[in-house]
């Protein structure tokens, strides 16, 4: 065994050539690999010689053919599975697919000798890489007794895989059952229709949101479930159910590649080829769904109630489910008669023989203990087997049943039946699964029965309902209908669609012409299309031509009409005139010889090129975009002889408001184009005030009379006076009171009556008070001074 790191991260489904890997292999690995091509002569070779031998052999067609021709059945099956998966696949799935194959293998490598990947690794045929590019050779992964499954990717050289002939698993040792009295299965068209509906729903939504860990969010999965209507898929009468259908379908689309992960954008989007894949013949689609089911994550058929605790997130890293699915699919491919009915219990027992003790959803018991005698050893062995079988009954038996009653049924891979005797649940491969699962490992291109050509499989009614006969419709026809009509209902024998203005509009928007829609409908129709359909389609198509919505148009602006027309003629500009001075270009490429004064991109935020002064002056440092120019032309007065200057005035703003505009529109335009995004605060106040026609509240400037008492004696006496107190208003500071203008004369007279003669004003002290925030001190008037001197202190 050896392990090393390579800067090559490998994704399942990737074709691999060993050339960049082999220089990193150590001597033992290279020697083992060289033995594949030169036999025991490699034992005497040094590392460099082995490397050259391997590199040469990988380029030598005859040696590759020779190696492929000498493979055992077990090895052929393993390499055929890798080839079918695109060159590499999850090691957990490959191991699971090989266990029930029935082909013996012999391991001379390190590790668990019952591990098929150990045997393949020891031969130098298959390698396992983890996501960091580390590869292992000989050990395989850690399967089996510990129950741990690695997350590696198994791969082999694609040039070798090209020469490997298919190999079927050995038939399971089970016998067919009597045909059931009652049987049920999903038609391929039903499956295609269901998945098409989900794909269409995701297409409309745009994406499925992802968490930071790159997994579909719960709301995203719930949205997928809602596309099913009820959110669940189940039929209690038939005893079938697909619990958490939203998670299953999301996982299936991800595993199939129809949904592509964009972790950076935290979303999964439809693959470009999604609809093309749904147009493939049903049996090819079925092969893809089977592979996707095997590899899907984030959903479980069944998890045992005891043992580990699996929360929703943990299911993503739980590759044992993928191993079990791969084993189950191989078991289906190993059914002795592809057309026969089998008891589920027999299939489960056959899987028990190859899986029990190797892999379980629960912790496997340990076959340990010291036995002194043969009897004790047998007893320990019996206890171990009993414990192991109990684990199987608790975990794998219900898992297999739920897998059959859930995903395998709903993906149309198996048909289920019951009776006539007490045979329990019966199953058989569906017609598409006979080709996609059973035939694929035998290299047989067993095509599902093709619908009659040309398939006349629907009727278009005058009310624009389309009745589709599910037994005759092809995948391509269903995809066409999904494109042009809205699905109303779907049963096993018939589905109902409706041509609506919205559905036809979507079809037209997707690139179909009205003629193509009519031709497609006519091709599948049992009867001539109703005349009303032709008229209605023509009407809907013509309405679409009346409004054009251009998402990223380019306009050239010229000084005037003459300049535009002259430039268009001179430079051969292709476009349409818009207004008097604009030309909308038909393509993104700019014609040669066109010299631009400025280029403004409306997909990016506007340039901050405006200077706005407190007095309302606006200046542009560079050419402005159209919204800004339009706003300034509406809200400001142009400065004469300047094309880059405007002035906001009370009159210009009031005029714009009178024309029905809102000041917020102007403020947004200006804020977006001013450096720092802030207008002068005073101008902002002014704009609002001008626009509303109401002065901004919150400031006051009064002409009230102030009684200022300078003398401490007065400061004490006046406020205490019952005669005078009523004249004093708000206190501004020590000895300063507001006096209402009406009462000022009375107060003055009263004060005079008491020998106080107030000075007429507060001269020259304002500046001093402003400089010193201390209590205002008003200058003494000569009269007050004289009075004080005359009367002395009271």
Partner 1 sequence: MALEVVSLAGLAPGEVVLHEGMTLVETDDPLLLVELLAEPRLRAAVELQLSPCAALVRPGAGASFLQELMKAGHTPKVSDL
> Which residues are at the interface with partner 1 (CB under 8 A)?
501, 505, 508-509, 540, 543-560, 563, 567, 578-582, 584-588, 590, 594-604, 606, 623, 625-627, 629-630, 633-634, 638, 643, 659-660
Do 2 and 24 contact (CB within 8 A), yes or no? Answer: no
Taking the complex as a whole, the smallest distance from the CB of residue 450 to partner 1 amounts, in Å, to 38
- Smaller CB separation from partner 1, 349 or 674: 674
Taking the complex as a whole, the smallest distance from the CB of residue 578 to partner 1 amounts, in Å, to 5
Taking the complex as a whole, the smallest distance from the CB of residue 658 to partner 1 amounts, in Å, to 11
- Smaller CB separation from partner 1, 63 or 629: 629
- Smaller CB separation from partner 1, 435 or 656: 656
Strands 486-490 and 494-498: antiparallel
Do 240 and 405 contact (CB within 8 A), yes or no? Answer: yes
- Smaller CB separation from partner 1, 442 or 661: 661
Taking the complex as a whole, the smallest distance from the CB of residue 224 to partner 1 amounts, in Å, to 22
Closest among 681, 684, 667 to 628, alpha carbons compared:
667
Q: Measured between alpha carbons, how far is 514 from 448 in angstroms, rounded to an integer?
A: 33
Strands (E), 196-312: 208-209, 233-235, 240-242, 259-262, 267-270
CA angle 200, 206, 263 (to 5 degrees): 120
User: Which residues in 514-551 are b (16+ Cβ under 10 Å) and which e?
Assistant: beebbebbeebbeeebbeebeeebeebbeeeeeeeeee
- Smaller CB separation from partner 1, 547 or 701: 547
- Smaller CB separation from partner 1, 181 or 563: 563
- Smaller CB separation from partner 1, 550 or 790: 550
- Smaller CB separation from partner 1, 588 or 592: 588
- Smaller CB separation from partner 1, 372 or 552: 552
The residues, ordered by sequence, that sit 6+ positions from 760 with a Cβ below 8 Å of its Cβ are 781
Taking the complex as a whole, the smallest distance from the CB of residue 586 to partner 1 amounts, in Å, to 7
Closest among 182, 288, 296, 186 to 233, alpha carbons compared:
186
Counting Cα atoms < 13 Å in the Cβ hemisphere of 149 gives 24
- Smaller CB separation from partner 1, 633 or 696: 633
CA 470 to chain centre: 32
Taking the complex as a whole, the smallest distance from the CB of residue 588 to partner 1 amounts, in Å, to 7
Closest among 595, 667, 594, 673 to 635, alpha carbons compared:
667
Q: Measured between alpha carbons, how far is 127 from 104 in angstroms, rounded to an integer?
A: 20
Counting Cα atoms < 13 Å in the Cβ hemisphere of 523 gives 16
Taking the complex as a whole, the smallest distance from the CB of residue 535 to partner 1 amounts, in Å, to 16
Q: How far is CA 331 from CA 170, 194, 253, 670, 713, in A?
A: 9, 27, 24, 71, 113
Do 458 and 525 contact (CB within 8 A), yes or no? Answer: yes
Token reading at 663: 């000041």
The residues, ordered by sequence, that sit 6+ positions from 362 with a Cβ below 8 Å of its Cβ are 304, 306, 307, 308, 391, 394, 395
- Smaller CB separation from partner 1, 598 or 752: 598
Classified as helix, coil or strand, 739 is: strand
- Smaller CB separation from partner 1, 556 or 728: 556
Backbone φ, ψ for residue 510 (5° rounding) = -80, -5
Q: Measured between alpha carbons, how far is 92 from 642 in angstroms, rounded to an integer?
A: 75
Taking the complex as a whole, the smallest distance from the CB of residue 570 to partner 1 amounts, in Å, to 12
Taking the complex as a whole, the smallest distance from the CB of residue 223 to partner 1 amounts, in Å, to 18
Q: How far is CA 731 from CA 207, 260, 759, in A?
A: 69, 76, 19
- Smaller CB separation from partner 1, 69 or 579: 579
Taking the complex as a whole, the smallest distance from the CB of residue 676 to partner 1 amounts, in Å, to 20
Backbone φ, ψ for residue 764 (5° rounding) = 60, -5
Classified as helix, coil or strand, 651 is: helix
Taking the complex as a whole, the smallest distance from the CB of residue 341 to partner 1 amounts, in Å, to 52
- Smaller CB separation from partner 1, 234 or 611: 611
Centre a 10 Å sphere on the Cβ of residue 689 and count the other Cβ atoms it contains: 16
Taking the complex as a whole, the smallest distance from the CB of residue 631 to partner 1 amounts, in Å, to 9
Taking the complex as a whole, the smallest distance from the CB of residue 593 to partner 1 amounts, in Å, to 11
Taking the complex as a whole, the smallest distance from the CB of residue 116 to partner 1 amounts, in Å, to 53
Do 27 and 21 contact (CB within 8 A), yes or no? Answer: no
Centre a 10 Å sphere on the Cβ of residue 439 and count the other Cβ atoms it contains: 21
């Amino acid at each position: 065994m050896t392990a090393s790191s390579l800067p090559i991260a490998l994704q399942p489904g990737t074709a691999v050539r060993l050339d960049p890997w082999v220089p990193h292999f150590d001597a033992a690995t290279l020697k083992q690999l060289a033995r594949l091509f030169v036999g025991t002569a490699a034992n005497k070779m040094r590392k460099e010689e082995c490397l050259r031998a391997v590199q040469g052999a990988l380029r030598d067609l005859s040696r590759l053919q020779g190696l492929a021709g000498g493979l055992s059945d077990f090895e052929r099956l393993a390499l055929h599975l890798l080839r079918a998966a695109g060159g590499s696949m999850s090691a957990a799935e490959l191991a699971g697919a090989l266990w029930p194959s029935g082909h013996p293998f012999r391991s001379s490598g390190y590790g668990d000798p019952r591990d098929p990947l150990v045997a393949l690794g020891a031969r130098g045929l298959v390698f396992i890489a983890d996501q960091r590019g580390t590869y292992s050779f000989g050990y395989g992964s850690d399967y089996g007794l510990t129950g741990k499954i690695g997350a590696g990717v198994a791969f082999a050289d694609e040039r070798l895989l090209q020469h490997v002939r298919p190999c079927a698993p050995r038939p399971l040792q089970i016998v067919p059952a009597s045909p059931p009295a009652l049987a049920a299965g999903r038609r391929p068209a039903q499956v295609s229709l269901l998945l098409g509906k989900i794909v269409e729903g995701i297409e409309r939504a745009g994406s499925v949101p992802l968490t930071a860990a790159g997994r579909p969010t719960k709301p995203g999965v719930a949205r997928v479930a809602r596309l099913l209507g009820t959110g669940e898929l189940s039929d209690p009468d038939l005893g079938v159910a697909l619990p958490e259908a939203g998670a299953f379908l999301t996982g299936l689309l991800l595993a199939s590649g129809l949904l592509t992960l964009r972790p950076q954008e935290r979303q999964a989007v439809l693959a470009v080829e999604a609809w093309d894949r749904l147009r493939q013949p049903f049996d090819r689609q079925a092969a893809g769904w089977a592979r996707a089911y095997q590899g899907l994550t984030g959903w479980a058929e069944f998890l045992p109630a005891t043992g580990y605790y699996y929360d929703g997130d943990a299911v993503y890293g739980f590759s044992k489910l993928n191993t079990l699915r791969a084993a189950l699919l191989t078991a289906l491919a190993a059914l002795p008669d592809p057309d026969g009915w089998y008891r589920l219990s027999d299939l489960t027992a056959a899987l028990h023989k190859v899986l029990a003790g190797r892999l379980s959803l629960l912790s496997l018991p340990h076959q340990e203990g010291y036995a002194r005698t043969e009897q004790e050893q047998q007893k320990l062995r019996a206890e171990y087997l009993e414990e192991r079988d109990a684990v199987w009954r608790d975990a794998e038996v219900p898992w297999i049943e739920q897998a059959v009653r859930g995903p395998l049924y709903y993906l149309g891979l198996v048909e289920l039946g019951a009776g006539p005797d007490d045979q329990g649940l019966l199953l058989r491969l569906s017609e598409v699964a006979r080709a996609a699962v059973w035939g694929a490992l035998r290299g047989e291109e067993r095509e599902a029965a093709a619908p009659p050509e040309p398939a006349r499989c629907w009727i278009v009614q005058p009310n624009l309902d389309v009745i589709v006969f599910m037994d005759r419709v092809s995948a391509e026809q269903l995809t066409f209908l999904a494109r042009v009509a809205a699905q109303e209902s779907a049963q096993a024998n018939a589905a109902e669609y409706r041509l609506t203005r919205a559905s036809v509009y979507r079809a037209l928007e997707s690139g179909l012409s009205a003629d193509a829609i009519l031709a497609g409908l006519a091709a599948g129709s049992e009867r001539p299309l109703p005349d009303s359909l032709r008229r209605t389609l023509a009407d809907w198509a013509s309405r679409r031509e009346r409004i054009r919505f251009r998402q990223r148009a380019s306009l050239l602006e010229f000084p005037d009409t003459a300049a535009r027309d002259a430039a268009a003629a001179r430079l051969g500009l292709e476009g349409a005139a818009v207004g008097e001075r604009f030309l909308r270009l038909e393509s993104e490429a700019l014609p040669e010889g066109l010299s631009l004064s400025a280029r403004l991109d409306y997909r990016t935020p506007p340039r901050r090129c405006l200077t706005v002064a407190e007095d309302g002056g606006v200046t542009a440092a560079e050419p402005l975009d159209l919204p800004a120019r339009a706003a300034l032309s509406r809200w400001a007065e142009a400065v004469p002889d300047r094309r880059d200057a405007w002035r906001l005035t009370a009159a210009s703003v009031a005029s714009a408001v009178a024309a029905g505009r809102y000041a917020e529109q102007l403020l947004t335009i200006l804020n977006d184009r001013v450096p720092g995004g802030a207008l002068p605060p005073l101008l902002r106040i002014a704009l609002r005030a001008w626009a509303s026609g109401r002065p901004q509240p919150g400031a006051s400037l009064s002409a009230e009379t102030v009684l200022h008492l300078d003398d401490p004696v007065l400061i004490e006496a006046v406020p205490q006076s019952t005669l005078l107190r009523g004249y004093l208003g708000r206190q501004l500071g020590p000895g300063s009171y507001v006096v209402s203008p009406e009462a000022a004369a009375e107060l003055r007279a009263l004060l005079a009556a008491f020998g106080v003669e107030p000075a007429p004003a507060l001269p020259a002290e304002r500046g001093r008070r402003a400089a010193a925030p201390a209590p205002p001190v008003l200058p003494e008037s000569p009269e007050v001074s004289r009075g004080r001197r005359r009367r002395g202190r009271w």
